[in-house]
Amino acid sequence: MKITVRGLTRRYADTAVLDQLDLDVEPGECVALVGRSGAGKSTLLHLLAGIDQAEAGSIAFDGLRIDTLDEAARTRFRRQHLGLVFQSWNLVPSLSALDNLRLPLELIGLRGDEARGRAQALLERLGLGDLAHRFADELSGGQQQRVAVARALVHAPSVLLADEPTGSLDADSAAAVMRLLIGACREAGASLVLVTHAAEVMGQADRLLRVEAGRLRPA
């Protein structure tokens, strides 16, 4: 999907964290956001995900304004079209990897054998088939993060939003996670916006943007 952001302004108390920010992301494009801590990168991702609301400005996906939808419609849109890899979005520890992937499918009305088959097939395609029946809290950090990325991809979203998806991972796990995310972009044509501090990750993006003084500029 094409993402079009215009004049986005988000204030906390008297401070505008984002100040009339504009952004265009093409379908299938991978954009990496960089910037110092506190610059507003996570704030921007949360606004794009429709989890937070701005004081001013517009956010459209293929022309559909999500900022003017009511909360129920925004939630439906998010479940259908967006894939999120956020630090706060942990796997459910008491469910297996497979069942963690079935949850987002259930939320869009896909149940039973169809959901199970799709979740299993994706885990296998991503080389995670052996982990399908392990409980999430029995997986290593790197394995959990790869399953979390699989969960974000299982409903074939058109837009992926990832907040430091390789943050706490060793080099091998980080590379595996990036292969999954970039693969979804290149193969399925999903648009990807990710926040990162890692040079290797930046190197794989089509475009690097710096969040600074509430706006974006080429980095």
User: CB of residue 59 vs ligand ADP: minimum separation in angstroms?
Assistant: 16
**32 is a contact residue toward ligand ADP (CB under 6 A):** no
Identify which of residues 35 and 83 has a Cβ nearer to ligand ADP in the complex.
Answer: 35
**12 is a contact residue toward ligand ADP (CB under 6 A):** yes
CA distances from 34 to 82, 124, 164, 201 (A): 21, 32, 10, 11
Identify which of residues 36 and 111 has a Cβ nearer to ligand ADP in the complex.
Answer: 36
The DSSP bridge partners found for residue 35 are: none
Contact predicate 8/59, CB 8 Å: yes
| Rounded (10°) CA dihedral 106, 190, 3, 109 | -10
| Among 28, 40, 57, 157, interactor with ligand ADP by CB under 6 A | 40
**144 is a contact residue toward ligand ADP (CB under 6 A):** no
DSSP per residue over 137-152, as a string? GGS-HHHHHHHHHHHH
User: CB of residue 43 vs ligand ADP: minimum separation in angstroms?
Assistant: 3
**54 is a contact residue toward ligand ADP (CB under 6 A):** no
Q: Tokens 């501090």 sit at which residue?
A: 197
What is the pattern of x (binds ligand ADP, CB under 6 A) and - over residues 76-115?
Answer: ----------------------------------------
CA–CA separation, 116 and 102 (whole Å): 6
Which residues bind to ligand ADP, rule: CB under 6 A?
12, 17, 35, 37-43
